Amino acid sequence: MFVALLLGYFLGSLPIAYWFGALRGRNLLQEGSGNPGALNAYRVLGPVPGFMVLLLDLFKGILAVALGEGVGGSPLGGLAGGVGAVWGHAFSPWLLFKGGKGLAAGAGVLFAVDPRLLFLSLLLFATLFALFRRPYRVALAVALAQPFLASFLHPAPAYLLFGLGLGLPVALRHLKDWHR
């Protein structure tokens, strides 16, 4: 399972948005929000590169779960690979442990593990956003809710740990934008 976690971390750490920016002579760590993620790629590079980054980040999460299951030999390996991908996306060694917010990679992981988890997360996000209109605070709340959502659908300790491992890096990345 540790190998699955490391493999997921490596895959998640690949800074797709940063590379797209570099191909266009732009540094996403210094432009826009300073975040090398899909939304900043959309803002700085335009809709087509932004959408491509979003799809590739989603795919990173899906692939990390699939590879984790293959290496780990069970769904638990997939959970570990998915958690590793989100941590790698948020804290990439290629970017001196800076990274994206983890939302796109996390969405890919949730989809691969159980699409109902992604649906519940999106439903919670939409509901909270409709009530409060604060996207960064809502994303933080949904990240912190991941252990509860995962445990609700899968009442096993592994899924509680999965939810914690998935939500924590996303929450940490959104804390700095708490005021928004």
On the CB side of 129, CA atoms within 13 Å amount to 11
Cα 97–chain centre separation: 15
- What pTM, to 2 d.p., does this model score? 0.94
- 83 C-beta neighbours (distance < 10 Å), count: 30
Give the Cα separation of 85 and 63 in Å (integer): 9
> For residue 109, what are its two tokens?
């992981």
The angle, 0 to 180 degrees and rounded to 10, between the axes of the packed helices 115-132 and 135-153 is 140
Mean pLDDT by 10 residues, the chain (180 residues): 96 96 94 86 95 97 97 93 97 94 96 98 98 92 97 96 97 77
The one-letter code for the residue type at 154 is H
